[in-house]
Amino acid sequence: MLEMGGADESVAAKVARLLDTEEIRRLVVDYARHMNEKDFSAYARLFAEEGEWVGGPYRAVGHAAIEEMVRGMVGPFMAPEPFGDIHIDANAVIDLEGDRATGRAGWIFVVRGEGGAPVIDKIGHYDDEYIREDGSWRFKRRESFIDLPPSP
């Protein structure tokens, strides 16, 4: 259940919290969309200027480094063509505190199996930190964890 800040919180403040939460949910959706479209420049711009992506052996800080990192995943970990594999983010939980927020979202990575049929490759989650930067919500830090690895 979304915390609304108590009985003393004004309607305007409650609406502002809902709008902030929705903007962050859109950020999470856009993350997967840009990944699926292989638009790595747009993907990197979802992060704050000094935003950080961490996962396994990977760590990148800043737009250029994040874009370079994800481009380097094409081939070994991801198909080169748009929608050659599908990244799904789901069930985002967001906790707001002013111009910062934290959250957790699940993810599923789907690849093409025999005959092009979709096959779940792995499942995990993100622990997120968000920040409002220049009036828009961005990822301050996104850390990826694999909860169910691919089968050997």
Q: Could you list the pLDDT tens digit for every one of the 152 residues in the chain?
A: 445 555 567 899 999 999 999 999 999 999 999 999 999 999 999 999 999 999 999 999 999 999 999 999 999 889 999 999 999 999 999 999 999 999 999 999 999 999 989 999 999 999 999 999 999 999 999 999 999 998 77
**What pLDDT does 8 receive?**
64
Question: Domains of the chain: which residue ranges?
Answer: 11-148
Helices (H), the chain: 11-37, 40-44, 63-72
Backbone angles phi, psi at 5, to 5 degrees: 85, 5
In contact, 63 and 47? CB cutoff 8 Å: yes
**What pLDDT does 150 receive?**
85
In contact, 89 and 29? CB cutoff 8 Å: yes
Per residue in 75-106, pLDDT (tens digit) is: 988 999 999 999 999 999 999 999 999 999 99
**What pLDDT does 119 receive?**
95
Distance separating alpha carbons of residues 94 and 101, to the nearest angstrom: 7
**What pLDDT does 4 receive?**
52
In contact, 100 and 8? CB cutoff 8 Å: no
**What pLDDT does 96 receive?**
96
Question: What is the CATH number that goes with domain 11-148?
Answer: 3.10.450.50
**Which residues lie below 8 Å from residue 98, measured CB to CB, with a gap of 6+?**
none
Distance of CA 60 to the CA centre of its chain: 14
In contact, 121 and 109? CB cutoff 8 Å: yes
